Amino acid sequence: MNLILLGPPGAGKGTQAKRLETTRGLVQLSTGDMLRQAVASGSALGQQAKKVMEAGQLMPDEIIIAMIAERIAAPEARKGIVLDGFPRTEAQAEALDKMLAQGGRKLDAVIELAVDEEALIERISGRFTCAKCGTGYHDKFHPPKKPGICDVCGSTEFVRRKDDNPETLKARLVAYRAQTAPIVPYYRRKGLLKLVDGMAAPDQVTREIETILNGIAAA
């Protein structure tokens, strides 16, 4: 099964993609993770990506398409993929159709996580993670049980992503509306678009996604 999780930054695509990877054996292809790895490597692509990401802008199509094409062709992706953060433009959507067709595959569903933007900014701008074990927290909605101490490993070191601030998030949402939202009609015309409430609790979002996928499998 080949899926796309669609929605603005912070809608929960990464969380749901990881769950699908565990429950259905799909390979998560996250452009965000790929780009952050490139940034950490200090490569030329990474340096370019860092500037673009910190400005809240989108990466050029040709770079992202090349990264995704390589991953889709890998043997471990044959069982199925869940795309998180790709495609972002109609040109990328058309490129994805061609990539899959070349391998005798097709896209099964596009699941859009619909959100309230103001609530989303509040949800994202307060999040942080344990620097040691990676457990996620939020200033308002999910703080550590003991202030300054990780519930899981006891570490006192925490980190926040540089782009998790209201100014950058607003810029990313503007970019999403301008460049990504127009692909929604593209998939609606193909009959692939399914809508889920991205502001619901993660477990509820998971249940709604599973209901959609079970319906597709039974069709």
What does pTM read for this prediction? 0.74
Task: Enumerate the known binding-site residues for Zn(2+).
Answer: 130, 133, 150, 153
| Domain around 175 | 2-218
Question: What are the residues whose beta carbons fall under 8 Å from the beta carbon of 92, sequence distance 6 or more?
Answer: 61, 64, 65, 86, 183
Question: How confident is residue 196, by pLDDT bands cut at 50, 70 and 90?
Answer: very high
- Residue-wise pLDDT for 104-116, tens only, equals 999 999 999 988 8
Torsion region of 56: left, alpha or beta (phi above 0 gives left; psi -120 to 50 gives alpha): left
- Residue-wise pLDDT for 2-22, tens only, equals 999 988 888 888 889 989 999
Mean pLDDT (the chain) is 88
Q: Is the pLDDT of residue 164 over 90?
A: no
The bridge status of strand 193-197 relative to strand 127-130 is unpaired
Task: Enumerate the known binding-site residues.
Answer: 10-15, 31, 36, 57-59, 85-88, 92, 127, 130, 133, 150, 153, 161, 172, 200
**pLDDT score of 111:** 96
Which residues are part of the catalytic machinery?
Answer: 13, 88, 127, 161, 172
Q: For the chain, what is the domain count?
A: 1
CA–CA separation, 6 and 111 (whole Å): 6
- Residue-wise pLDDT for 74-91, tens only, equals 898 988 999 987 888 888
Task: Enumerate the known binding-site residues for AMP.
Answer: 31, 36, 57-59, 85-88, 92, 161, 172
CATH number, domain with residue 16: 3.40.50.300
Question: What are the residues whose beta carbons fall under 8 Å from the beta carbon of 187, sequence distance 6 or more?
Answer: 4, 6, 93, 110, 193
